[in-house]
Structure formats: structure tokens, C-alpha cells
Amino acid sequence: MTIQILRSQINDYQTYTLADEEMTLLKALIKIKATQDATLTFTAGCRASVCGTCAVRVNGREVLSCAHKVRDGDMIEPLNYHPVLRDLKVDKQPAQKTLLNATAWLHRYQEAVLTHKDERFTERQTDCILCDACYSACPVFAVNPDFLGPFALTRAYRYSADKQESEVKSIVERVQHNGVWECTLCSGCTLVCPKGIDPKMDITMLRSLVVQHGYEDRTFAQMGFGTPDFGSEFGFDSNGEF
Amino acid sequence: MTDVLIIGSGGAGLSAALAVKEQGASVIIASKSTPTTAQTSMAQGGMNAVLGNVEEDHISMHIADTIKSAHGICDENMVRKMCADGPLAIAWLERLGVPFSRLDNGKSGTGSIAQRKLGGASAKRACYAQDYTGLKILHTLYDNCLKEGIEFLDDHFLLNLVTEDGTIKGATFLDIRSGEVVQIDAKSVVIATGGFGALYHGYTTNAFGTTGDGIAAVLRAGGSVSDMEFVQFHPTGLKHSAILVSEAARGEGGYLVNSDGERFVDELSPRDVVARAIFAQLEQEKEVFLDVRHLGKEKLMELLPQEVALCRLHEQIDPLEALIPIKPVAHYTMGGIDVDDALEVNGIKGCFAVGECASAKIHGANRLGGNSLLEIVAFGRFAGSNATKHAMFARTTPANDTQLLKDKDYIAHIFTQEHSVNFYPIRQRLGVLLYHKVGIVRQNAKLQEALSEVIAMQVAHARMGIVDHAKAHNQNLVEFLEFSNALLLTPTLISAAFSRDESRGAHFKIEFASEDNERFKKHIVLKWKP
Ligand SMILES: Cc1cc2nc3c(=O)[nH]c(=O)nc-3n(C[C@H](O)[C@H](O)[C@H](O)COP(=O)(O)OP(=O)(O)OC[C@H]3O[C@@H](n4cnc5c(N)ncnc54)[C@H](O)[C@@H]3O)c2cc1C
Ligand code: SF4
Ligand code: SF4
Ligand code: FES
């Protein structure tokens, strides 16, 4: 089989030929590097879908290299909206800065009674491996690089829902700017998450939390043109930020 | 100059960094990748701490279990300290927000943390977060490092320690992004670079890059290593990818069968016994499989969802319907950098080592499951706080640039080095060699063969160089440096195994099948003579 990989140096696809056996893309990349082309650059760690290092795009869709079975004709590219460092290796620092901007951590601990049900409530969200696949799939970054983005908002939501968090308000304040209202609820993130996380749903949950805290509901404001004009009689601010 | 430089961003490095920060000192974390990619993310089973949430448990029982598993060669004071720190470490993680699995007992705080029994434990003692314990601890530590504004240097590959008169002054790194060699000056250094399981390339559960770089740097700086011969093998790695299949598979009633369809060992025996029995079958050219079909779909999906998916992906089989091909694989390296009871590297003042890279004399001849996550958190904090104390009184004159210039020359030299021998296949050959001759079952004659082969590899190393001559983001260079470290460490592993003419814990030698306390109830400590 042959696959094509976008090489940064030539800014073009390079074709590689592989034996016709079933293998993961990561295994294929390692084989290419070891036997055909030592300059091919990519990142990997655990090969078991848990270290979050190896996400790329295959035929336009984000996958973990270690969890994708390579197929004849696959087109491999680096993640979107990340500065490409070399070939498939991207700079994750700008994207991970969103965690800092969202203050996605436990602000102030308070002791609480927790049950199995509480654990299950945000179990999925805490499965996140920070692979950045969702970030790459999110169309908002094409127009707004300051958007907090799916994984940071999922993480912020996970802490806001923790009964041990006594300062939910601090999180609520942070996620409103370039945050929950900028999301178009397109589900791009949810569709590609290798861990089955649903950032779109988490963002929806954060929205209601924001409203519960007495802030304005900007659901309709952000929808931009193309949606019916609810007009000022509904009391929405139609000069959304999107 | 920073107070404390931490090398490695796994659980040990991040715990140390947070401890330094708590005490008001400055800290930098440098690692060769990005923060949360460390192997700590792979730990599934749990972290030991005596809470007694599920059944009666005592710190004395945890100590006794650890000593038993270590087969007598551990420092009982260190074991006592670690076990006593267990509940405190969990309480600390709880306050940071680690999403532990919970019981329905109506209790608050750590009182509701669920605990399960791991092999060799006399009580249900391992705290867990479903089967993502390491991942969730690591990420919560990372969130807290961001909260505390801790500085991370990604893509910094440790080359060498910088010392002056036996005292640490900092370290040199290859900045993978620019290709430059840089020196970071620091009053104290904490090495937390993980183990060396990846020497068994192709035969290990460990992540790529677990090549013992920090251990090799300590050897080059004149420090010592100990307990290198003790490598824990996990009985059930997937045959092709060596990915771990959790012990729960056997614990819940999975069978081991060979290619003749025969069962050949009590599946519930200790890890080393099962690993040896499987290895014996493989040596007789038989294949070995794990059979979990009779457990039924529902139970399998509940107990081993990750494994079912990984089998489908990496072994092209569905464990609900087919046998899972397996082999025992290298899983944990008990030995490493020789440290004292303050975790300070013997021979280098102000330099500390913690986590899987260190030999803190707690795991001895065999590690108890769940003790390494405890070690990285409890001792990670201990190392951070000792490093801070050292920094308070350390001299602030930076080191001269002797080491820096040497390392710049070395990297420049690699670019000009002949590369007629491709090191990637040799890396693979080293894995095969170690697995068969320095693995689960050892024999002096085979160890000697292995050593000669490794020496031949070291000789060929001069012709191995790199093909990729790009300056920035040269992963070929990084992998070459990792392989060079592997070649430096391998002889210490083989020599230690050769010297130990007995069998103890994870070290099994055919011609000396029992423990010999008179001659060998001790640690083998080695130094490097260039
Ligand atoms: C599959 C698996 C399952 C496990 N399950 C359990 C379990 O259930 N319970 C348990 O207690 N233990 C378990 N363990 C063991 C445990 O996970 C490890 O021992 C522990 O996480 C090691 O942590 P660490 O911080 O010492 O090192 P690591 O997590 O390995 O981190 C090492 C760090 O050092 C950095 N580094 C390495 N070399 C360099 C260099 N040259 N320059 C700069 N940085 C460098 C790396 O990038 C990384 O950030 C398991 C291990 C594996 C592989
Ligand atoms: S749902 Fe929101 S966060 Fe997710 S991809 Fe779409 S716009 Fe981005
Ligand atoms: S939410 Fe999913 S896709 Fe996004 S970073 Fe986390 S694991 Fe990756
Ligand atoms: S290599 Fe770790 S997630 Fe793919």
C-alpha cells in the first residue's frame, strides 16, 4: 500500500510504500523512519492511546496515530491550528495555554461527601489525554485564535462540577470571554475525540451554569447572520462577538 | 539562577515541583517531550496507601508486604517512611482535585476513596481512578502546576549534569526545537527521568523513550547505580505490541493456554512465577494465549474495556471470540541511580533523584504493584523539599562552561560522524538480546554472550551516526542519543545480573535457583569507568 505524508520542508506530500499488512499508523511511521526515511518527524510515546502525543489528521480527520489502522491511500497531515514545527510534529504550547486562560483547575478545595455517582458524573471528562484532536477540529479557531476551545472548556466544566470546588464563580467568570458563547455547537470536537468525550455537551452545561450565576444568556446573540433576527424585543444583544 | 531545576515531568517531577513551590522557592521543569506525555499516564491499577476504607488495614501490614516483595534487600527505614507517607500523599492529591473512584459510604474527604486489592497485598489498599489512575493523577498535578505558574521547558533533552567539586551546578540540554545545546544553572537539581524498561525494545510495556537517560547522565557524572539486575516482567503483554493486559484478566478467571490447548500454570501465582512458566513455553517454541472468552461479553466490557479495544487494534483479534496471543514483557525497573536516605545522589551534592530512575531501596528485588505511584508522589515531594533546603544554602556562583563546550562539541561531532550502520535495527536487536539472555530466566553463559554482543554494538556505535542532518527538531538525533544511553546502561544491567549468583525476586538464574543470603543479601552498586 502507499500513503502520503505532508512534509514541512517541501510543503508537499511525499509518498511512502508499505507492506500490505494490518498495522497502526504509528507502527507504519516508525517503520518508515527506521528503514526508509530517518528525516520523517513525528511524536509518539505510549502506543496505547493514553499519552496524547501522536494525534494527526488522516484524510482530513483527527485520529491518534497509535489507534488508526493505516489504509492504502491515506493522506497524513499535522493537526490544524497548531504551528507546524516539522512534518507531523506541531507546537502544542499555544493550544495548551487555553488551560491557563480558562483557569482549568480546582480553585479552592472544600471537603465534601462524594459517592460513586459523583465519580461517574465527570468520569468521561477526566479521561482527557490532551491530544489536541478536538482543538484541531474546531472551526472557531479559523476566525478566533483566542477562543478557549473544547478541551480547556471540558476541563473547566469538570472542575466546576466538582463538589470539592468552593469557588465555582471564578470558573464561571473565566469561561465567558472567548469561551462558551463563541462555540457554534457544531460537534466537530465531539466527533473526533478518541476518548469519547463530548466537549460540546460540556460547553452547553457550562452555558447553563453561567446563566444560573446570573449572567446574560448569549445563546442567540452569538449565532451571527443567517439566523432569524429575534430583535431587541426579546431582550438579546444581537451584537454578539462571533 | 533558579533554585531548583527538575528534569522530567512525570508524576515524580511534578510532585517535586509543587513541593518546591509550596516552600516559596523558584523552580523550572525541563523534559524531553511535553508535560503530560510522561509514562506515568500509563499506570492503571492503583496507588497504595493505607486508608482502611474497604477493610481493615495497617501501615505495619503495608510495610510487611513491601519488605516481603523486596525479598529482604530494601532499606526498612525508607520503606517505613514511604508507607507512613501513603495516607498523607493521598490526602494531598485529594486536595489538588484528583478524581479518585469512590465508595458509597457517606463519608467525606479521603474517607470515600475506593480501594482494591493488587497482587501481593494483604488488604484492599490501592486507591484508583477507574483504570486510568496514572493518567488522572498526572493531569491533576499538571493542572496544579499551571495554577502555581510553574515554568515548563518542553523539548529539552538532558545531556549531562554540570558539577563542580562534587556539587551540582545545573545541567546541559539539547534544545530539540532549535538544535542548540544550552546550560541551565541551578542551585539544586532533581532528576525524575523515569526507568529504563525501553532497553527491552519490542518486549516492554513501557513507552518509547523510557531509556534511562537520567541514569546514564549520573554514571557519566561519576555517580553510581544500584539494583540494576532487578527488572520486573509482567506475565501478560500482547504478543505483537507488548501492550499490557491487566492482571485483572487472570484475577477474574482468565486462563493461560499454550498452542496445544493445555493449561500449564496456576494463573493466580505471583507475577514472576507466571512469567517464568510462560517463558518456558515460549522457549519450547510454543505459543501462549490468554483465554477470556468464557467470562462473557458483559463482564469483559465492564472489566477490560481498554484491553478489548487494544486487542482489536494491535492484535487483529476480538477477545470475545478468540484467544489473545501474549508474551511476558519488561514492565518496571527496580534499580537505578543510587541515592541516600534523603534521595540525594551518592557522590553529587545537591543533586537528587526520585521515581523510577532512582534506586531508593524500597522495591528491592521486586516491586509491589501500586507502590511506584506512591513512591513518585510521596518521595517526589520529599525530594522537592530536600532540594529546596539544599538550595537555601547553596553557592550562587554559576558553573563555568567547560561541560557546555564539551557537549556542544559532542553534538557537532555526531553530525559529522559516519553513519554506515543504521542504529534502528540494532536497537531492535538489543531488545531481542536482552529479552532472551538478560530477561526472565538468566544463565551465566548467556549473560556473557550478551555482554560480548553489547560490546560489539558499542564498537559499531562509532559508525552509527545520524542520517538526518537538520538542526531543529531532529528526532533522529534524539533517538540516537537515547540509544547511546541504552548502550551505556546495558553493561551495568548485565554485570549486576552476572555477579548475583543466586535467584531472588525478579532475578532468576537457572544454575543458582535459590536465595543465598550469606553472600547476596546486599545491593550491587556500580560505577562507570570511561
Ligand atoms: C503500563 C504500565 C502500567 C503501570 N501501572 C502501575 C500501577 O498501576 N501502579 C503503580 O504504582 N505503578 C504502575 N506503573 C509504574 C509507574 O507508572 C511508573 O513507575 C511511574 O509512573 C514512573 O514515574 P516517574 O515520574 O518516575 O517517570 P515517568 O513518568 O516515566 O516520567 C519521566 C519523565 O522524564 C522525562 N525524561 C526522560 N528522559 C529525559 C531526558 N533525557 N531529558 C529530559 N527529560 C527526560 C520524560 O519526558 C518524562 O517527562 C505502570 C507502568 C506501566 C508502563
Ligand atoms: S462544538 Fe464548539 S468547541 Fe466543539 S468544535 Fe464546534 S465550535 Fe468548537
Ligand atoms: S477532549 Fe478528547 S480530543 Fe480533546 S484533547 Fe481531550 S482527549 Fe483529546
Ligand atoms: S502514542 Fe500515546 S496516545 Fe498515541
**What's the CATH code of the domain at B503?**
3.50.50.60
Q: B221 with B283, same domain?
A: no
Given this model, what pLDDT does residue A232 score?
40
C-alpha distance from residue A28 to each of A67, B242, B269, B324 (Å): 12, 16, 37, 23
Q: Rounded to 10 degrees, what is the CA torsion of A168, A110, B96, A50?
A: -60
Phi-psi region of B31 (alpha: psi -120 to 50; beta: other; left: phi over 0): beta
Q: How far is the CA of B41 from the centre of ligand 3 (A)?
A: 14
Residue B442 annotated to the active site: no
From chain B residues 373-402, the ones with a CB under 8 A of any chain A CB are none
Q: Are residues B310 and B339 in the same domain?
A: no
> For position A219, what pLDDT does the model report?
79
Phi, psi of A53, deg, nearest 5: -85, -25
DSSP summary character for residue A68: -
Nearest one of B53, B105, B97 to A111, comparing CA atoms: B97
Phi, psi at residue B72, to the nearest 5°? 85, -20
Say if residue B181 is in the same domain as residue B253: no
B174-203 pLDDT, tens per residue? 999 999 999 999 999 999 999 999 999 999
Question: What's the CA gap between A7 and A85, in Å, rounded?
Answer: 11
The per-residue pLDDT for range A59-90, each reduced to its tens digit, is 999 999 999 999 999 999 999 999 999 999 99
Q: Which three cell numbers stand for residue A239?
A: 451584537
Q: Chain A: nearest CA to B427, how far in angstroms?
A: 10
Residues B31 and B96 in one domain: yes
- DSSP lists the bridge partners of residue B233 as B330
Residues with CB under 6 A from ligand 1: B 7-13, 30-33, 38-40, 42-47, 133-134, 156-158, 192-194, 205-206, 210, 213-214, 244, 332, 355-357, 369-373, 376
Q: Which ligand gives the minimal distance to the CA of A24?
A: 4
CA atoms within 13 A on the CB side of A70: 29
Burial of B109 per CB tally in 10 Å (0-12, 13-18, 19+): middle
Residues B367 and B322 in one domain: no
| Segments of chain A assigned to CATH 1.10.1060.10 | 93-221
List B125, B271, B442, B500, catalytic entry: B271
The pLDDT value recorded for residue B514 is 96
Helices (H), B267-352: 271-283, 297-303, 305-310
Instruction: Clarify whether residues B382 and B474 are in a common domain.
Output: yes
Residues 29-58, chain A, touching B (beta carbon < 8 A): 33-35, 38-39, 41-53
pLDDT at A202 over 70: yes
* Ligand 1 centroid from CA B355, angstroms: 8
ipTM over 0.85: yes
Count of C-beta atoms within a 10 Å radius of residue A145:
12
Strand ranges (DSSP E) for B27-154?
A: 27-30, 47-48, 115-116, 126-127, 151-153
Q: What is the pLDDT of residue A241?
A: 37
C-alpha cell at A110: 472544600
CA-wise closest residue to B17 among B210, B171, B152, B193 = B152
- Give SS3 for B315: helix
DSSP secondary structure letter of residue A35:
I
Per-residue pLDDT at B249? 84
- Please indicate if any CB of chain A lies within 8 Å of the CB of B462: no
Question: Chain-wide mean pLDDT for chain B?
Answer: 96
Mutate to test the interface with B, among A31, A89, A105 (most CBs of B within 10 A): A105
Distance CA A201, CA B314 (A): 31
Buried b (16+ CB within 10 A) or exposed e, B284-317: eeeebbbbbbebeeeebeebbebbbebbebbbeb
Are the beta carbons of A44 and B208 separated by less than 8 Å? yes
Chain B positions touching A26 (Cβ under 8 A) are none
3-state secondary structure of B331: strand
Domain range enclosing B299:
231-331
Among the partner residues B99, B108, B466, nearest to A113 by beta-carbon distance: B108
Does A100 contact B at CB distance below 8 Å?
Answer: yes
Query: For chain A, where do the domains classified as CATH 3.10.20.30 start and end?
Result: 2-90
Give chain B positions within 8 Å (CB) of A105.
97, 143-144, 146-147
- Nearest Cα residue to atom 5 of ligand 3: A130
B286, B305, B331 - which closes a domain: B331
Minimal-distance CA residue of chain B relative to A68: B313
Q: Which of A215, A191, A209, A189 is nearest to A132 (CA)?
A: A189
User: In this structure, which ligand is nearest to the CA of A187?
Assistant: 2
CATH assignment at residue B248: 3.90.700.10
In the predicted structure, residue A224 carries a pLDDT above the cut 80: no
Residue B109 φ then ψ, to 5°: 60, -145
**Are residues B256 and B137 part of one domain?**
no
| Interval between CA A145 and ligand 2 midpoint (Å) | 13
Cell reading at A186? 457544531
Helix, strand, coil: what percent of chain B each, to 5? Answer: 40, 20, 40
Q: Which of B141, B49, B57 is nearest to B371 (CA)?
A: B49
With cut-offs at 50, 70 and 90, classify the pLDDT of residue A233.
Answer: very low
Note the pLDDT tens digit of each residue in B38-88: 999 999 989 999 999 999 999 999 999 999 999 999 999 999 999 999 999
Work out the average pLDDT over A203-227: 80
CATH 1.10.10.10 fits A93-221, yes or no: no
Domain boundary, last residue among B279, B305, B331 = B331
- Closest residue to B146, CB basis, from A39, A43, A100: A100
Question: How many domains are there within chain B?
Answer: 2
Alpha carbons B470 and B224: distance in angstroms, whole number: 35
Other CB atoms within 10 Å distance of the CB of residue B513: 9
B133 CB near a chain A CB, below 8 Å? no
| Segment holding B231, helix H or strand E | strand B231-238
| Strand bridging mode B2-7 / B351-353 | unpaired
CA distance B145 to B446: 47
- Residue ranges of chain B with pLDDT lower than 70? none
Q: A2-90 falls under which CATH superfamily?
A: Beta-grasp domain (3.10.20.30)
Mean pLDDT score of chain A: 92
Question: What is the DSSP code (8-state) at residue A79?
Answer: P
**Beta-strand runs (E) in B319-419:** 324-333, 336-338, 351-353, 358-359
